[in-house]
Amino acid sequence: MKAVILAGGSGTRLQEEVPDVPKVMAPINGKPFLEYLLKILKKNYIKDVILSVGYKKESIIRHFNIRKNVEMNISFSEEDKPLGTGGAVKKAIDQYGDGSKIFFVFNGDCLTDANLFEMFESHLMYTKQENDGRLATMLAVEVSDTSRYGRLDGSNKKITKMTEKGMGGRGFINGGCYIFNIGIKKYLKKKCSLEKDVFPKLIKKEKLFYWNDDVDNFIDIGTPEDYRKLCNEDFDKWKKIVS
């Protein structure tokens, strides 16, 4: 299985905690956050990874060139200027160039204990079914308050609506993990946003589905509060998950 990790963002809100490094390189017990995400991917048999890098990309490239992991094939897709999440995916998957038809995409600031291999198997099974129509499967995570994240609504595993941040209450959110069929390239432009440009079109055409089985733990480090929580009270739990 192959994957693209979106690691190009600056993490504006997190800069008060880690002002000198990209968000994905924020230190967690002496190691950058991105190393923990890569461990989760490796546990789920994902070993061919493109890191899409932009903001302070030299620090990411230098770190992973020095700490080469022989059990993972890590390469880089470099942005000279921001392309948006959709543009970054397009540039990265163009690098594969070997006929890959299905691939994962991960936000570089999220961790989950979801069984990604089962998610892949589910996506593969349904895309082979006649008239299923899906181009993408999104990991959906249930949380007690959706107001910080935005909200997903759906029916029969098909996403029907994505609401912007602000709407609270228990519900499902975007877990920052996607599986795309190569047909997604039709919706990707050189510069575009997955969230604002691509997903609304897929919803309208009924091609965006969700998967939410067996997701017990999820965190993103987009805010100083969640970053500190991962560094302190949640670290032992996540250390066990990624070990």
Predicted confidence at residue 99, as pLDDT, reads: 62
**Interval 157-164 mean pLDDT:** 91
pLDDT-based confidence at residue 154 (cuts at 50, 70, 90): very high
Strand partners, 173: 141
Predicted confidence at residue 136, as pLDDT, reads: 96
Domain boundaries defined on the chain: 2-242
**Interval 172-199 mean pLDDT:** 95
Predicted confidence at residue 9, as pLDDT, reads: 87
**Interval 80-97 mean pLDDT:** 91
3-state secondary structure of 112: strand
3-state secondary structure of 94: helix
Q: What is the pTM of this model?
A: 0.94
Predicted confidence at residue 1, as pLDDT, reads: 84
Residue with the bigger pLDDT between 147 and 200: it is: 200
Q: Do the beta carbons of residue 56 and residue 79 sit within 8 Å?
A: no
Predicted confidence at residue 69, as pLDDT, reads: 59
Predicted confidence at residue 65, as pLDDT, reads: 87
Quick one: what percent of the chain has pLDDT higher than 90?
72
Predicted confidence at residue 239, as pLDDT, reads: 92
Predicted confidence at residue 20, as pLDDT, reads: 85
**Interval 144-170 mean pLDDT:** 87
Measured torsion, CA atoms of residues 173, 187, 52, 16, in degrees rounded to the nearest 10: -40
Predicted confidence at residue 12, as pLDDT, reads: 84
Does 160 score more than 70 pLDDT? Answer: yes
pLDDT in tens, 119-139: 999 999 888 776 678 899 999
Architecture of domain 2-242: Alpha-Beta Complex (3.90)
* Whole-angstrom distance, CA of residue 140 vs CA of residue 153: 10
Pairing label, strands 151-155, 158-163: antiparallel
Mean pLDDT of the chain: 91
